[in-house]
Amino acid sequence: MSVTLIGPNGLFTRLGKLFYVLDITHQIVTTTQSFQYQLDQELEDAANEYNVADARMLLGLYDDSVQIQTATAATIVERIRQTTVETIIQMTNDDVTLPSLSLPAALRELIRQMEDAGESLEPNTTITNVVPNAQNVGDGVALVSYRFGAGAPNDRFQYNRVETMRLQCTGDAQVSGSTGRETFALEGENAIASTANPGFPGGSGIGETIRASDPLNEGRGPGRNRVSNGAFERWTGDTPDDWTLAPGITPGTDVVRETTLQRRDSSALRINGDGLSIGEFLTSAAFALRPDTHYTIGFFTRRSPGLSAGSWELEVRDGGLNVAAAASTSAGSVSDSAYGIVSAEFRTPNEVANNYAAGIKVTAALDASEYVLIDGLFVMQTPQYGGPNGPFLLVTPGSSGSNWIRGDLVNVGSVRATVGKFQTYLDMMLGLNQLVDEQSQSGRGFTFPFADAATIPDNLIS
């Protein structure tokens, strides 16, 4: 058996009626109309969705007209929240005896059933906009993601806050003594505590101190580079240490140490074109990754002024040569005067059986006598801020002569491109933004399945 989701006595049919009352309540608060005039009939409609046997789930949502007339918005919203929680727990437990009558236990089972049956809600979709202050000295990059990572089910965040966060450098090399490890204050907009407020939930309220993630800083923790010598600072002749050249690739001819046009530090990787060669040029030493973990991969690159054709990429593969992620670019997308970043993200599976390796590939031949430069290559576990639905965020160091300095500011904005009303109200009533699934290996939260062609439409909220 499974929980009935839509139709008579369906879970989301009932929640749709409850959330419509919530919607009306917010409208009333906004327009200051009387509660009893608008809500009496809507509350009765919501109560009618519950048969006699399930009336226990209502928890006094609709008792008598006197109670409705004297209720405040906060009281009504709290009753809706309690009824939402009780409805999910009791309907799920009526179908499958839960290990405990708790919201996490009910959500875990309900979401499993929905995933197995291919059921889905309409999604929230977030677009980010990262805008550095024009007066900044540092030219590093803030990489922000509201996705769990390619390869993860339900990849897009559904319960993140939409806001503009301030990312400001608070400690530069003059303070910390180390370029590439500058400190930043990350501040979100103020959160709104009251669910009766139509502006709920407001911002994330994030207040964190973070550090720039330098590709030179190798290691296993968040913000550390898993690729040995990904910054291309250590060489033996024209072969970068801890990298293996592919058969047919000649050091000093195809691959060269660049010591003049590097982005920062002392050297970069230069790949010379011959108009013919494609395929893998170099492979890194193997490295281990954590299971069920978000990673960002990337590199800085520029091209010679005469390069008009060719494409190249960073590819990360597991020990079975399966591609986990690739960050690709081409001649037409890259500057001949300054380095730009190319990046991608992915999530490792729940079980990681083999080590990984990074490969640098030319996927379309580079013009003869021209070249590309690669510097600051990295594969990093991405730090996450503000709980299970907070942003994944990496800040890269600036280039030589353009390091971050105290006061440099980046605005990190996010807006909803699409709004899933069920997802939004479920977050509001259940606190999904901060609710962690304790059985998750990586502390992830609960996410109701979603799809652009949803099987459970938002028009049930009526």
Under a CB-based contact definition with an 8 Å cutoff, are residues 71 and 194 in contact?
Answer: no
**The pLDDT value given to residue 154:** 72
**The pLDDT value given to residue 38:** 56
Token pair belonging to 183: 């400190």
Provide the residue type at 327 as one letter.
Answer: A
**The pLDDT value given to residue 441:** 64
**The pLDDT value given to residue 64:** 46
Reading the chain (462 residues) residue by residue, the pLDDT tens digits are 799 999 999 999 999 999 999 888 888 766 654 554 556 667 777 878 887 778 777 766 655 434 444 457 778 889 899 999 999 999 999 999 999 999 999 999 999 999 999 999 999 999 999 999 999 999 999 999 999 887 766 789 999 999 999 999 999 988 766 789 999 999 999 999 888 888 889 999 999 999 999 999 999 999 999 999 999 999 999 999 999 999 999 999 999 999 999 999 999 999 999 998 999 999 999 999 999 899 999 999 999 999 999 999 999 999 888 999 999 999 999 999 999 999 999 999 988 877 999 999 999 999 999 999 999 999 999 999 998 899 999 999 999 989 999 999 999 999 999 999 999 999 999 999 999 888 876 677 899 999 999 999 999 999
Task: Report the interhelical angle of 11-31 vs 421-430 (nearest 10°).
Answer: 80
**The pLDDT value given to residue 65:** 39
Whole-prediction pTM: 0.89
Across 222-349, the runs of DSSP E, i.e. the strands, are 235-236, 239-240, 243-245, 255-258, 268-272, 279-284, 294-303, 311-317, 323-330, 340-347
**The pLDDT value given to residue 158:** 95
Under a CB-based contact definition with an 8 Å cutoff, are residues 346 and 149 in contact?
Answer: yes
Is the domain spanning 235-303+310-319+347-381 CATH 1.10.390.10? The answer is: no
DSSP bridge pairs for 330: 311
CATH 2.60.120.260 region(s) of the chain? 235-303+310-319+347-381
**The pLDDT value given to residue 37:** 52
Dihedral sign of CA atoms 243, 246, 247, 253 in order: negative
- HEC per residue, 19-55: HHHHHHHHHHHHHCCCHHHHHHHHHHHHHHCCCHHHH
| Calculated CA dihedral for residues 346, 351, 353, 358, nearest 10 degrees | 10
Whole-angstrom Cα distance, residue 441 to residue 198?
A: 35
